[in-house]
């Protein structure tokens, strides 16, 4: 069994009096897709934002490549190579693909951006991910379809020598063909050696691309299992009840408090 590239233990997070994450353990492995599933409000996005340094945590340890790290802000996470594609996509509509991919990290001097260099890098990144549906990297994002936008957002996250990419519901708003495209891309990221986390409510997608499935139930990690060891039905039961047979929380009923 490979050591996790990112290993979180005992993470707690409250918003004021609301305790959202309870002693959460979560591991991400390089070269694998880990699906993070759970009902609405289970705490998936919150967990991702804690890992990305958007939210501070109340307690917990984070190890990255075997060493303890302290992620105090988004820059700390980015410096480690942890990138997030958020549920509410953060792309600027009025900018083109290259401008979006390099937003805030432009190449060149303050006077003269190295447009040719950035354009080339954007093109190479899309090509390395076998993205073929985007005709020109100078297309404004407002002119792209939902799937193409998602693709650009994902490509942006791997442009920075990323090691771990967390995708918060990348296929939620997509049609069949576009979902296909994004799922292929998710698989390819893992094949390139990245640790990939996929948040999704779609069990078919999860079973298709994930090597492991982690189930959050009311802010508690109910189970972390190999996809091949469980059925759709078991995962649905873990999501809705926190337990399925002998997998899951010992006392899910206590989780409600």
Ligand X SMILES: Nc1ncnc2c1ncn2[C@@H]1O[C@H](COP(=O)(O)OP(=O)(O)OP(=O)(O)O)[C@@H](O)[C@H]1O
- Find which of ligand X, Mg ion, none residue 165 binds, CB within 5 to 8 Å per kind: none
Segment interacting with ligand X (CB under 6 A) among 14-22, 25-33, 89-97, 117-125: 14-22
Contact region for ligand X (CB under 6 A) — 37-45, 116-124, 203-211, 225-233?
37-45
Interface with ligand X includes 46 (CB under 6 A)? Answer: yes
Exactly one of 22, 44, 156, 163 binds ligand X (CB under 6 A); which one?
A: 44
- If contact means CB under 5 to 8 A according to the sort of partner, which of ligand X, Mg ion, none does residue 46 touch? ligand X
Task: Please write down the HEC assignment for all residues of the chain.
Answer: CCCCCEEEEEEEEEECCEEEEEEEEEEECCCCEEEEECCCCCCHHHHHHHHCCCCCCCEEEEEECCEEECCCCHHHHHHHCEEEECCCCCCCCCCEHHHHHCCCCCCECCCCECHHHHHHHHHHHHHHCCCCCCCCCCCEHHHCCHHHHHHHHHHHHHCCCCCEEEEECCCCCCCHHHHHHHHHHHHHHHHCCCEEEEECCCHHHHHHHCCEEEEEECCEEEEEEEHHHCCHHHHHHHHHHCEECCEECCCHHHHHC
Using the minimum distance from each CB to Mg ion, give the nearer residue, 129 or 203. 203
Choice between 24 and 182, CB closer to ligand X = 24
Q: Which two tokens stand for residue 90?
A: 């953060």
Q: State the nearest-atom distance from the C-beta of 1 to ligand X, in Å.
A: 27
Q: Rule CB under 6 A: is residue 15 a binding residue for ligand X?
A: yes
Cβ proximity to Mg ion, 47 vs 159, nearer residue:
47
Q: Which range in 34-42, 75-83, 91-99, 107-115 contacts ligand X by CB under 6 A?
A: 34-42
The least CB distance from residue 86 to ligand X, in Å, is: 11
Nearest distance from C-beta of residue 168 to ligand X, angstroms:
7
Applying CB under 6 A, the residues found at the interface with ligand X are: 15, 18, 20, 38, 40-46
């Amino acid at each position: 069994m490979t050591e996790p590239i990112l290993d979180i233990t005992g993470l707690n997070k409250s918003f004021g009096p609301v305790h959202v994450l309870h002693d959460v353990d979560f591991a991400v492995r390089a070269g694998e897709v880990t699906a993070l599933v759970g009902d609405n409000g289970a705490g998936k996005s919150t967990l991702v934002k804690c890992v990305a340094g958007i939210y501070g945590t109340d307690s917990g340890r984070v190890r990255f490549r075997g060493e303890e790290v302290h992620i105090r802000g988004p820059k700390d996470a980015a410096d480690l190579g942890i990138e997030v594609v958020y549920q509410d996509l953060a792309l600027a509509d009025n900018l083109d693909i290259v401008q979006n991919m390099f937003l805030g990290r432009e190449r060149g001097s303050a006077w003269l951006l190295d447009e040719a260099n950035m354009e080339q890098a954007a093109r190479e990144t899309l090509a390395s991910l076998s993205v073929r549906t985007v005709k020109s990297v100078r297309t404004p994002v407002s002119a792209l379809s939902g799937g193409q936008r998602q693709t650009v957002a994902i490509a942006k996250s791997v442009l920075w020598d990323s090691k771990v990419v967390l995708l918060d519901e990348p296929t939620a708003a997509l049609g069949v063909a576009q979902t296909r495209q994004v799922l292929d891309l998710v698989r390819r990221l893992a094949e390139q050696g990245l640790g990939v986390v996929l948040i999704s409510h779609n069990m078919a997608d999860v079973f298709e691309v994930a090597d492991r499935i982690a189930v959050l139930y009311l802010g508690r990690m109910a189970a972390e299992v190999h996809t091949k060891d469980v059925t759709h039905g078991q995962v649905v039961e873990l999501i809705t009840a926190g337990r399925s047979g002998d997998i899951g929380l010992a006392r899910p009923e206590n989780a409600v408090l």
